[in-house]
Structure 1
Amino acid sequence: MSPSKSDLPSRLLLSLEPWRNAAHWRIAFSGGLDSTVLLHLLASLAKSESLPPLSAVHVHHGLQAVADAWPQHCQSVCAALGVPLLIERVTVQPGASLERAARDARYAVFGSLTQTNDALLTGQHRDDQAETLLFRLLRGAGVRGLSGMPQQRPVGQGTLIRPLLDVSRAELEDYARVHQLTWIEDPSNQDRQFSRNYLRHQVMPLLTERWPQAQASMARSAAHLREAQGLLDELAQMDLAHANSAHDFQWLGLPSLELAPLTALSAARQRNALSHWLEPFTRLPDSDHWSGWTDLCDAAADAAPIWRLADGELHRSAGRVWWLSGDWLRTPVIGCGWQTPASALRLADNGRVMFSGQAPCGPLRIAYRQGGEVMHLANRGHRDLKRLLNERAVPGFVRGRLPLLFRADELLAVANLPGLDGNGQDGWQLHWQPTDEDQGLS
C-alpha cells in the first residue's frame, strides 16, 4: 500500500528510494522553512532507517546585514539534530539579476562539494514548481523551460535531488508546527521588486482564491511538459545520430556535426536537434536569435559563416558545423623556436607539438600560416601550402592554427596532415595536440 498523503516521512523515503545506496546525502540548508523541514525529516528517519551518512551545507551570501546571524542559527539546528554542518561563504558577483548571481554562487559551491555517488538534497516544493512554471511562461519559455524544475539533475560529480516537489508549502508548515520547528524568515522574500516574490505574494493568492487547486494543476502541467520534452529529446537523438558521422579531423577533439543531414530536416526539427546538442556547451539563444543559425546555413558555399553564442561560436566549414570555445577563440602567438625537439613544445593558447621518431636537425621553429608558404614534396616539387590544405579539405578555422615546422625558411612539415607531417625516409612525424588534456576536460 502506498503512503497516505499526510504521511510525509514515508512519502519522502519513497521519493528517495533510488538513492538509498548513495555514498552521502548532503542537505542544502538555508535555514528557511523548506530546508528546515527536510533536515528534520531526514535526521528523524535516520534514527530508524538505514540511510547514507547525512550532512548539511549552508551558503552565506553576505548580501544583507541580518544574514550574518543565519550561520549561527543553522549551526544550532544541526547540532541539536546531530547533523554535521559545513558553512561556505561566497562573494556574489554584481549584475543585472541579483537573484541569479546569488543562485550561481550557491550552485558553484554545491557543485564543488558533490562527489561521485553523492546526493545533494534541496527543499523546493510544489508551490515553488508552480511559481517556476508561471515565471517562465511570462518570459516566453519553450517546452524545456516550462517543464519546470526536474526532480533530479547532475551537479558536480553527483546528483541534485528535489524530494519534496510533490509536497505543498502548507504541508511543510503543518509539519513544522507539529514539531515546533523554528526557521529563518528572509526579509528579501517580502521584497516585491523581485519577480518571484511578486508572483508569490501578489499573483498566486489571486489565482488560488479563484482556483484552489491552481498550484497542483500547474505542477501537473509541468510534469506533462517534462514528458513532452523527453520525447523531443528522443527525437533530437535520432536526428543527431545521422549527423554524427565520422570525418578526417577527429583528432581536433572538437564537437561537430555533418551539415547536410541537419538541413534536410524541417526548421523546427533543426532547432530541436541543435538545441539538444548545444545545451552542454552554452546558454541557448532565445527564439529571436535563431536567425544566426539560418544565416549560417544559407551563406554562400565559399563563405566561412560564424554564429556567435553566449559561450562560444558555431563555425561552418568542410561540410560540417563545429563548436569552438576557449583557446580556439584566441589567436595563437605567431611562432617560437624549438630548442629541445626531443621534448614536447607547449604553444601559447594552442596546445603542444611533439615528434615521433628522431627529430630532424635544427635550428627548428614552429610558426603559423601567414600566406604564400611553399612546401617541397617528393615527386611533386614545390607546392603552395594553400593548395595542399584545399586538397585535404582542412576546415578554415584550423588553417591559421596548424603548427608549421620550419628549418630557417624551409617548411619541413605541417602537423597532423598525412603526407605533409614528416619525412618518411628519415622516419619522423610532427604531432599536434590542439588543447591540453585539462582544457579539453573543462
Structure 2
Amino acid sequence: MFRRLWSGLPADPEFPVDLEKLGYFINEDDEVRSIQNPDNYFKYFLSRNPRWNDRQRFAINQALQNEVHKRLEKLDMTKCLLPIGTKDPSKPHIPIFVSRDLPLKKRVVVIFGESLQDLGMLAHRVIGGAGGVNKGSLVSIVSELQKQHTSSTDPSPPGIILANMGELIWSPEGQRAVGRFAFDNMPAKSAVHNGNLITEKNSIEGNEKPKFHVHYIFDKVIPHFVKDNVGIDVIGVGDGADYVEQYLDLPVVWETWKKRINCLALVGGLHPVWELRSKDFATEFLKNKARAYATSLEPAGMPLSGPEGNPKTTTFTGMGCLIFSSGEPHFTELTLIASAGLVLDWVQEVAMTPEGEDYANPKFDIVYTDPVTVTDPDWSHWKEGEAEGEMDDKDDEESQIKMEPVEAHGKGSEQSGLVLLTRPDSS
C-alpha cells in the first residue's frame, strides 16, 4: 500500500518579478525584447507545461505593470486606495490613479477600461510586442490628455481619473488586489494544485464587481475629489463602456449626473439602446453627446451609422448614437489604441465649445454599406435553382449510375442479392 505525501508533489515554479532577471529589456523603441536575442519579443511558450508558461506570464505582467505605474507617477498621477480613507495597506483595497491636483481642476476625464485588464493597461499584445509599453498602456492616453485645454477660456489641462475595472480580487497572501488571471496564477502550494478559490475574504467593500466599481467611482470618488460644478468627460472601453451605460441609465442616477457629464465615448462597447430604460439618456444624451468607436475593417474615423442605426452593415449599430470605425478590425482591447487620436480630439472639441453654448453632435449623412465581393453567392433564388437541378438530373441519362444484377457462382447464389454498380457503356 502506498501513501502520497504533500511533500511529494512538484513545487510550483518561481519567476522573479523583474524584467532583467526574466531575460528581457525595453529597447530604444520602447518595446520589450529578449536580452539574449534583441530581435525577439516576449516568449510565452517557455515549456510544454502550461503552469510554467502562466507563472512566467504572471511575473512579466507584474513587472510591466510596475513599469507602467512608475511612468504614470512621473506624469503627476498618484495612487488612491479604495475604499476612500484606507490607511492600512494590509486591509482589502484596490488602487486607482488620479491627477495629483485633481481637486483644483475644472474639467475631469474619467476612463473605465476593460474588466480583463489590470490598472493602467490596455493590451499586453502591444505592451509586450510591436508598439511598446506607452502605446499599449494608458500612459499614452494620459500624456495626450495633459496636452489639452480645460475649456475655451482655460488653457490648463483637465484632471484625470483612471478606474480599476480589472483588479477587484483581494489577495491576502500578496497583500494586494489582482485580476482573475493573476489570482489563478499566484504562487500555489504545488504545481498541480487546481487554482485558487474565491471566497468572502477576497472581496473589497463597495468594489466586489465591475458594475459596483463604476457605482463607487461616481458615488464616492468623484464627489470626494471633484467640485460639484466641474464637468465630467467619460471614456469607456469594451465592457467598461457597457457598465457605465447601465449605471447612467438608472433614472435616479441620470437625474443627478445629466447636467455634469459633457460627453461619453463608447470605445468597443456593445450595449443595445433598446435595453435602456431612461428615455432622456437613451434618446437625447446618446444622440447629441455620445459617440461609439467600433471594431471595423474600415479606416479609422469612417462614419458607420447614425443614432438610428444602419441596416446596411453587419456591424452592430443599435447603440443610439453616432458610430465610427475605430480602425481596429478584430480586437476590442485595441480599439482605444487605434482610435486614440479620434476619441481625444472629439473630447477636446466638446470641451472647447464656447461658454454659454450647449454642445450637440453635428448631423452626418450616413452612406456607408458593407462592400459586396464577387465571391459572395446569391442565395435569393435557391428554390428555383433546386427545382432546375432536379429536372437536370432526370434528363441527364449519362450521369446516372446503372445497377445491374450479376450472377454469383457457388452455393446460395440465388439468395446472395449481390449487385454490381457499372457506368453506362461509353460506346
TM-score normalised by the chain length of structure 2: 0.26
Structure number with greater CO (CA < 8 Å, separation at least 6) is 2
TM-score normalised by the chain length of structure 1: 0.25
Structure with greater proportional helix content:
1
Name the larger-Rg structure: 2
